[in-house]
Chains A and B, each alone.
Chain A
Amino acid sequence: MTMERRSFLKLMGAGAGLGAASLMTGCAGLGMEGPTGGRRVVVVGGGYGGTIAAKYIRMMDKSIEVVLVERNDHFVSCPFSNLYIGGLMKDLSPLTINYDKLAANHGIKFVQAEVTGVDAGAKLVRTSRGDIRYDRLVLSPGIDFRTEEIKGYNLATTPDVMPHAWKAGPQTVLLRKQLEAMPAGGTVVMSIPLAPFRCPPGPYERASMIAMYLKQHKPKSKIVVLDANPDIVSKKGLFLKGWKKHYEGIIDYRPAKKVTEIDAAKKTVLIEGLEDVRGDVVNVIPPQRAGAIAVAAGLIGPDKNWCPVNPTTFESTLRKDIHVIGDACVAGAMPKSGYSANSEAKSCATNIVNAMNGRELVDMSGINTCYSYLSAKEAVSVTGVYLVDKAKNAIVAAPGSVAVSPDLSELEAIYAESWLKNILTEMSS
């Protein structure tokens, strides 16, 4: 293993899934480093964006070879993971999908491997199991954390003590375990980074779910929410209404409190050197940027965090033949959500197929919906329809289409459950 590779793996926080040994034997190869025949799309990342891009390319054109590369053999959904944290699910199985049926139904080649780099010049994806050549590459890498902006935060150790739980899986389980282990009368501290971050209403839903759990199981406990933003970022009126209705005296919401330093041993967070707050359970959600692979591939734009893309094709404006979808890209007015990633993937897939067949490109028409639970039985949603504004060369909201629920709703909670079922089924079959 070369120095560069080693440092890059460190950067990616790799080694989580695969041991060093398997990484080194990876050079045995997949036999995919040679010429492609001109019709191979490699998709990196098997989440809300990547699965859909892979599937829809194959649905539209079976002559295009699609290789889906993902480090895990399964995927756990971030949407709805707050319900698990709040105790509404007994395990993560309702949030978990695998790739067997998706691959079999659509003839997608699934490769479980860690992507270690992209050589845009040679059109190669470097993976722990060998190189894969592409004609077009779709990256749906999700997010990674800008931990360097929080003094004392060590990505290798801090999340074991102060879980972020902003990538669903073991972190989600750990946060719930910590809540269960906390004595009654304890304090939970949660910190929210400056926007933009993955899932704008997510932190406020989490505060609601944790408060619900405390109310039921840990009398006299409270949750202090330290929000770096000047105000609640999404669905403000509805969250405030729900908190007043259910969690008065349990949620202590403090705007404009940016966590700049942590002391994991003391379970303390510090706010701009002015104030420190200690919790029995501390859930620090660090600021975010595009997944490390997108950074390494040179796809990050002038904001230094996210990947600028063409609003029709989602092709990077910085690297030819590489497309970026999902949380990692700048999709104009579309929020960083699972539903957005699903819509973006379809526009990207359609136009990759069009381009590979010399056909005219088609502008996107997309949707976003985010459901959030306020209690065991009530949910709210934000919805929007999105299209390309030619003059601005950007994705904008269709006038009048972006709106939130009029009130907390039991019916929305019923539909939200079916939303989860449908979108995960769409991704896994």
Chain B
Amino acid sequence: MKISRFKWALSAAALAMSASAFAAPPTPAMISNACAGCHGTNGASAGPSMPSLAGHNKESIVTAMKKFKSGERPGTVMGRLAKGYSDADFVAMADFFSKQKFHATSQALDAAKVARGKSLEEESCSRCHMESGKEGKDDSPIMASQWLPYLEIQMNQYLSGHRKMPEKMAEKVKPLSKQDLDALLHFYASVK
């Protein structure tokens, strides 16, 4: 057997496939694939607290990224990461993830809470979280099949004032009890 010897004296330039000088700027897929280590391949999160992005609406992703970057929305890592990207990058990511197949999760959920949530959602939330949370009006995020622990963390951040709730959403959330809100999140997590 022949093992190639240490010969780094060979001309590097002559061997390289191509200098990066000739490469195109990162594509939406290149930018977005880097997110998958946390959010799952193509944005389909394996859970339980990392949110799925696959099939989410473009506007909600762009808004979220902008708010993370400005600090308006609290985050553990997203605020720091968002600083590495431009607004054009945000549009590229949003475009990429919005085109991916919606990720239906199967989570262990309390059936009674799901049923209670279902009875409340139309009246309270469906104006913006439409089609049982499968669609989002303007920049309202998609909540169908989202991981429950993630939704709970976010709702807690709204209720504690950490994350600023949209005014019109706050009007609907305020009158509800903790139990009802919990039931609503169970319902959205259950939607396939």
Quote the shortest CB–CB distance from A113 to chain B (angstroms): 14
- Quick check: is A426 within 8 A (CB to CB) of the other chain? yes
B6-25 vs A, CB cutoff 8 Å, 1 = contact: the mask equals: 11101010011111111111
- Quick check: is A76 within 8 A (CB to CB) of the other chain? no
> Do B47 and A342 have beta carbons less than 8 Å apart?
no
Tell me the complex Cα distance, A429–B41, Å. Answer: 9
Please name all residues of chain B whose beta carbon is closer than 8 Å to the beta carbon of A418 when the two chains form the complex.
Answer: 38, 45-50
> Do B22 and A5 have beta carbons less than 8 Å apart?
no
> Do B33 and A4 have beta carbons less than 8 Å apart?
no
- Quick check: is B1 within 8 A (CB to CB) of the other chain? yes
> Do B8 and A411 have beta carbons less than 8 Å apart?
no
B38-62 vs A, CB cutoff 8 Å, 1 = contact: the mask equals: 1111000111111000000000000
Tell me the complex Cα distance, A429–B46, Å. Answer: 11
Count A-B pairs with CB separation below 8 Å.
201
Q: From the candidates A320, A339, A401, A414, name the one contacting B17 in the complex (CB within 8 A).
A: A320
Tell me which residues from 288 to 316 in chain A have a Cβ below 8 Å from any Cβ of chain B: 295-298, 300-302, 308, 310-313, 315-316
Please name all residues of chain B whose beta carbon is closer than 8 Å to the beta carbon of A366 when the two chains form the complex.
Answer: 34
CB closest chain-A residue, reference B93? A365
Please name all residues of chain B whose beta carbon is closer than 8 Å to the beta carbon of A119 when the two chains form the complex.
Answer: 2-4
Number of chain B residues close to chain A: CB under 8 A: 51
Quote the shortest CB–CB distance from B160 to chain A (angstroms): 12
> Do B84 and A401 have beta carbons less than 8 Å apart?
yes
> Do B37 and A422 have beta carbons less than 8 Å apart?
yes
Q: From the candidates B18, B45, B48, B81, name the one contacting A383 in the complex (CB within 8 A).
A: B81
Q: On chain A, which size bracket covers the interface?
A: 35 or more
CB closest chain-A residue, reference B28? A365
> Do B37 and A8 have beta carbons less than 8 Å apart?
no
- Quick check: is B165 within 8 A (CB to CB) of the other chain? no
> Do A422 and B46 have beta carbons less than 8 Å apart?
yes
Tell me the complex Cα distance, A381–B18, Å. Answer: 35
Q: A8-B3, A365-B26 are in contact. Are A422 and B81 (CB under 8 A)?
A: no
CB closest chain-B residue, reference A352? B17
Q: From the candidates A363, A381, A403, A417, name the one contacting B26 in the complex (CB within 8 A).
A: A363
Summarize A's interface: helix, strand, loop or mixed. mixed
CB closest chain-A residue, reference B35? A367
> Do A318 and B12 have beta carbons less than 8 Å apart?
yes
Please name all residues of chain A whose beta carbon is closer than 8 Å to the beta carbon of B83 when the two chains form the complex.
Answer: 385, 398, 400-401, 403
Quote the shortest CB–CB distance from A39 to chain B (angstroms): 16
Tell me the complex Cα distance, A418–B149, Å. Answer: 10
Q: From the candidates A116, A361, A367, A403, name the one contacting B37 in the complex (CB within 8 A).
A: A367
Quote the shortest CB–CB distance from B24 to chain A (angstroms): 5
Tell me the complex Cα distance, A361–B23, Å. Answer: 5
- Quick check: is A362 within 8 A (CB to CB) of the other chain? yes
Tell me the complex Cα distance, A120–B4, Å. Answer: 7
> Do B41 and A426 have beta carbons less than 8 Å apart?
yes
> Do B50 and A422 have beta carbons less than 8 Å apart?
yes
> Do A421 and B48 have beta carbons less than 8 Å apart?
yes
Q: A56-B33, A418-B50, A422-B46 are in contact. Are A317 and B16 (CB under 8 A)?
A: yes
- Quick check: is B164 within 8 A (CB to CB) of the other chain? no
Please name all residues of chain B whose beta carbon is closer than 8 Å to the beta carbon of A151 when the two chains form the complex.
Answer: none
- Quick check: is B191 within 8 A (CB to CB) of the other chain? no
Quote the shortest CB–CB distance from B2 to chain A (angstroms): 6
CB closest chain-A residue, reference B1? A5
Please name all residues of chain B whose beta carbon is closer than 8 Å to the beta carbon of A350 when the two chains form the complex.
Answer: 29-30, 33
- Quick check: is B153 within 8 A (CB to CB) of the other chain? yes
Q: A2-B1, A316-B15, A393-B19 are in contact. Are A362 and B50 (CB under 8 A)?
A: no
Quote the shortest CB–CB distance from A266 to chain B (angstroms): 36
Q: From the candidates A296, A355, A417, name the one contacting B3 in the complex (CB within 8 A).
A: A296
Q: A117-B3, A400-B84, A419-B37 are in contact. Are A312 and B8 (CB under 8 A)?
A: no
Quote the shortest CB–CB distance from B149 to chain A (angstroms): 7
Q: Which residues of B contact A (CB under 8 A)?
A: 1-8, 10, 12, 15-27, 29-31, 33-41, 45-50, 76-77, 80-81, 83-85, 89, 149, 153
| Pairs A–B under 8 Å by Cβ, sample size 6 | A298-B4, A361-B20, A362-B25, A362-B30, A367-B84, A418-B46
